[in-house]
Amino acid sequence: MSKHTVDYNASQDYKTYKLLGAVLVALGGIGVLGAFQADVYRSWHWLLIMFLFLVSIGLGNLFLIALEYLVNANWSTPIRRISESLSGVLVPAAGFALVMLAFGSHKLFHHWIEPPDAIVQGKVSYLNMQFFTVRVILCFGAWLLFRALFLKNSRAQDKDGDQVYTRNNVKYSTVFMLVFAISISVAAMDWIMSLDPHWFSTMFGVYYFAGTLVSAVSVLTLFTIHLREKGYLPGVSRDTYYSLGLMMFAFNTFWAYIAFSQFMLIWYANLPEETLWFIKRWEGGWMYVTCALMIFHFVLPFFLLLSRTVKTIPSFLAFMARWLILAHFLDLYWLVMPNYIPKEGASVFGLVDISFIVLAIGCIMLWFHKECSKANLMPIKDPKLQMGLEFKL
């Protein structure tokens, strides 16, 4: 047995956190049912936010797996299995997509299902439920197919250490990156941008991609710190924390750059069909959410993560990971909820809506532990593992 073999599945921590995930799913599910009883339209929008968050975590970690293979990274090899398990969140996300397609499409996308004017009518060849459904199926089909291929080779390598599995995944990663670039842009346009079918932005796919990277790396960081500090990632040094912290800092700065660039170009052009989208997020109290997003998602994290030293402190890094996860949730809330028009006397946010966040957290915890039970926490016979464990700043 390899010295890097860790029987996490037999530990009490595994049983405890898997049970906690199941409890959160149950409690969140009950709360979600209550939310639908209180306000159906608001609940469908919140379900969309939760769905987009799960896609960010699952697809973002699938991207990190492919990125490691493509650039031949060593430092991330010892924690790649965490990304492999987190990518399993795409499975419940696919389930929620089917629910929204079957029952919530007219609540979410009524703006283009029944075109109100000639502008939207002109987009009907793309914005129609039949083609929308086909695109959703193709996107999830491609994501889950590449995930199955990556995991099949990664887990098979644990048996004999043959490098052919690594070479195969490098080839799959090349194709995946092309598919990923197109599919994440399509998903962003379909699920978010089409909520306001009069508006368009050629940068919107990149904007969602940037937020996806921030949240995916943050969740990966949180699980890595928890498992390493509990002793389930033997040999992983705190220098690995620095790389994770650096990625959180870099991707979050990239998100801010894309967000500003998108706003600046629309502000400078000053075209009514483009500026209305931002005006909607500045009026009626949304100004406070917009300002909070800028401060909470970029300004404070930028300065808090700027120091090299803090990126190696596990407690602080875990705190910042949770911070950026919540910031991404706020970002998705800011993208989706302005399209929800509450009835007179109703609010945009209620305490019962927290149940969607609880359900999302429960899904991540439950699916992570479900997936990590199928393989060792480390790719024990990957040729790059030892180099990854010896990684130093």
Do residues 6 and 376 lie in contact, with contact meaning Cβ atoms separated by under 8 Å? yes
Please give the average per-residue pLDDT across 293-317, as a whole number: 96
Q: In this structure, is residue 260 part of a structural domain?
A: yes
| pLDDT value for 285 | 85
Burial 158-176 (b: 16+ CB within 10 A, else e): beeeeeebbebbbebbeeb
- Looking up tokens 């699952």 gives 58
Please give the average per-residue pLDDT across 215-226, as a whole number: 97
Of the listed ranges 43-52, 195-204, 346-355, 378-387, the one predicted with least confidence: 346-355
Using pLDDT thresholds of 50, 70 and 90, give the confidence band for residue 111: confident
Distant-in-sequence, close-in-space partners of 293: CB < 8 Å, separation ≥ 6: 327, 330, 331, 334
| pLDDT value for 268 | 93
Do residues 367 and 94 lie in contact, with contact meaning Cβ atoms separated by under 8 Å? no
The pLDDT of residue 115 is above 90 = no
The pLDDT of residue 393 is above 90 = no
Q: In this structure, is residue 76 part of a structural domain?
A: yes
Q: In this structure, is residue 1 part of a structural domain?
A: no
Is the model's pTM score more than 0.85? yes
Q: In this structure, is residue 37 part of a structural domain?
A: yes
Burial 275-293 (b: 16+ CB within 10 A, else e): eebbeebeeeebeebeeeb
| pLDDT value for 130 | 96
Ordered DSSP codes for 161-188:
--THHHHHHHHHHHHHHHHHHHHHHHHH
Q: In this structure, is residue 9 part of a structural domain?
A: no
Alpha-carbon distance of 68 to 177, in angstroms, equals: 12
Phi, psi angles (nearest 5°) of residue 163: -75, -10
**CA distance readout (Å), 237 to 319, 378, 388, 390, 393:** 19, 14, 9, 8, 10
343 DSSP assignment: P
| pLDDT value for 1 | 45
The pLDDT of residue 345 is above 70 = no
pLDDT in tens, 235-263: 888 889 999 999 999 999 999 999 999 99
**Structural domain total, the chain:** 1
| pLDDT value for 119 | 86
Please give the average per-residue pLDDT across 339-348, as a whole number: 66
Distant-in-sequence, close-in-space partners of 360: CB < 8 Å, separation ≥ 6: 28, 50, 53, 54
Alpha-carbon distance of 24 to 271, in angstroms, equals: 45
Show the domain range for 141. 14-389
- Read off the tokens for 173: 């990663």
392 DSSP assignment: -
Residues in the chain, overall count: 393
Residue 328 CA to chain centroid, in angstroms? Answer: 8
The pLDDT of residue 156 is above 90 = yes
Question: How much of the chain exceeds pLDDT 90, in percent?
Answer: 83
Alpha-carbon distance of 21 to 16, in angstroms, equals: 9
Using pLDDT thresholds of 50, 70 and 90, give the confidence band for residue 346: low
| pLDDT value for 89 | 98
SS3 18: helix
Question: How much of the chain exceeds pLDDT 70, in percent?
Answer: 97
Q: In this structure, is residue 172 part of a structural domain?
A: yes
- Looking up tokens 């710190």 gives 225
Q: In this structure, is residue 256 part of a structural domain?
A: yes
Alpha-carbon distance of 110 to 18, in angstroms, equals: 38
Do residues 361 and 24 lie in contact, with contact meaning Cβ atoms separated by under 8 Å? yes
The pLDDT of residue 344 is above 70 = no
Q: In this structure, is residue 29 part of a structural domain?
A: yes
pLDDT in tens, 201-212: 999 999 999 999
Of the listed ranges 118-122, 170-174, 210-214, the one predicted with least confidence: 118-122
Please give the average per-residue pLDDT across 16-34, as a whole number: 96
33 DSSP assignment: H
Do residues 381 and 161 lie in contact, with contact meaning Cβ atoms separated by under 8 Å? yes
Alpha-carbon distance of 113 to 124, in angstroms, equals: 8
DSSP run (H or E) holding 369: helix 354-372
The pLDDT of residue 123 is above 60 = yes
- Beta strand extents in the chain (DSSP E only): none
